[in-house]
Amino acid sequence: MPRKKIKCVVWDLDHTVWNGILLEGDRLVLRSGVGDLIAEFDRRGILQSVASRNEPGPALAQLERFGLAHYFLHPQIGWDAKSQALRRLGERLNLGLDSFAFVDDQTFEREEVGFNLPEVRTYDAADIDQLHDNPDFMPAVITEDSRRRREMYRADEARQEQEAAFRGPGDAFLATLAMEFSLAPASAADLLRVEELVARTNQLNTTGKIYSYAELAELRESADHTLLVAALSDKYGPYGKIGVVLLHCAAEAWTIKLLLMSCRVMSRGVGGALITLLRREAKRAGVRLLADFRSTDRNRMMYITYKFAGFSEVAATEGETLLEADLDGIPELPSYLRIESTWQAVPRG
Amino acid sequence: MTQIEARTKIRAFLGKFIPEQDFADGDEIFALGLVNSLMAMQLVLFLEKDFAVKFANQDLTLKNFGSVDAMTDLLVRRGVIGAD
């Protein structure tokens, strides 16, 4: 299995981002190449944060002075173990720690992280010159959505703060977000983003099967396939293109070959709505609705999503399951979403 | 653990999301719209962790998790709590 791409780089500060020790009153100088590397990772859509043993106020002020503060999400500046800081970042960003890189000049810190979180890749600050061309730090594709990834996560921070402050049923909170969900056949311009989502999405992915750009382009044109792209926005701004559905359409049955959603929208209740839309369309078209499911070590949530959305197993072989949807008792679409679908399998009327 | 203790525990968990006076043990919490589909995964993980059980694929249905009664029955069938 190829190594997973790095999605988040976590930087130490003293003697890693800058030379000198902040709390000792040293004259701090940005280390050569660090500023450019941080800007380059940001352009590639790699998220970045900080794990530093320091006083938060002065450390953040120093990052501001170097013009770097805006690059870092959820900076972890304090006195606890760096493995703890990384664990919190994984939770806050909703990313697996096996997609994290940790850069620190101190062997002790790298070994502490490596011991407690062996899945995190650690790098000596002395070796950062090699990171620029390291293939692990080179996403398969870079799209408009990747370039804006940091901004979109920033909007997520505002959402999370509001959510934490909100008391009451989940739906009532979701309604305050004024979410707009759209579903449309993939355009040629969407294909890069679809390829990126397929490569990046592990948890909310019904098969984990990787499709190349060429395969996706062929499926988009294929007469018996439909490739759909979902997008979401809310009052804080766009989440971008966040979902993909690949349908195989035969005369009597449609089969969902792939359904995936970006983990950024995990708590937004849009996966269930998407499945409801598919069930409705299948019923209207008078076809059975089947779904392929392939279990990976990460995607049990998608199995549960299908099962709780009226699907049951009709066949199972080694690791692969075929599910079929009950097309009776399809629930209403959730009231907290405004849905715009430009996909019509069968013309209405 | 007895069934009564199990019910109390499940009700307390659900109580974090919906006021306890708003649902009875037989109420279909998903069908009544008391919780949304996001709750499915949380419920499965909560039961697996707090009752030290791992559900098989065939256990994972809306019916088995649709009410406090149904979840208690499931735990009895899995031998996690006594049948009283």
- A156 within a domain of the structure (yes/no): no
SS3 A302: helix
Regarding an ipTM greater than 0.85, the answer is: yes
Tell me which residues of chain B, numbers 15 to 74, contact chain A at a CB-CB cutoff of 8 Å. 17-18, 30, 33-41, 44, 57-58, 60-62, 65
Question: How far is CA B71 from each of CA A212, B23, B43, B79, rounded to the nearest angstrom?
Answer: 43, 14, 10, 12
Contact at CB, B62 and A272, closer than 8 angstroms? no
CATH assignment at residue A202: 3.40.630.30
Whether A270 contacts A278, CB under 8 Å: no
- A145 within a domain of the structure (yes/no): no
Same domain, A173 and A288: yes
A interface residues, B as partner, C-beta within 8 Å: 169-171, 174, 267, 269, 271-272, 301, 303-305, 307-310, 312-313, 321, 334
Whether A295 contacts A343, CB under 8 Å: no
Length of chain A (residues)? 349
d(CA A245, CA A223): 16
- Each of the 349 residues of chain A gets a pLDDT tens digit; together they read 568 899 999 999 999 999 999 988 899 999 999 999 999 999 999 999 999 999 999 999 999 999 999 999 999 999 989 999 999 999 989 899 999 999 999 999 999 999 999 999 999 999 999 999 999 999 988 888 888 899 888 888 778 777 766 655 567 778 888 999 999 999 999 999 999 999 988 888 999 999 999 999 999 999 999 999 999 999 988 889 999 999 999 999 999 999 999 987 877 888 888 999 999 999 999 999 999 999 988 899 899 999 999 999 999 988 899 999 999 989 888 888 999 999 887 766 5
Whether A247 contacts A254, CB under 8 Å: yes
Predicted model pTM:
0.75
| Residues in a beta bridge with A321 | A293, A316
CATH assignment, B3-77: 1.10.1200.10
User: Which residue type, as a one-letter code, is found at position A211?
Assistant: Y
**Residue-range definition of the domain harbouring residue A263:** 168-341
Percent of chain A past pLDDT 90, that is, above it, reads 71
Same domain, A81 and A132: yes
- Interval B16-36: pLDDT, tens: 888 888 889 999 988 887 777
Please give the tally of structural domains in chain A: 2
In order, the DSSP letters of A216-240 are HHHHHH-TTEEEEEEEEEETTEEEE
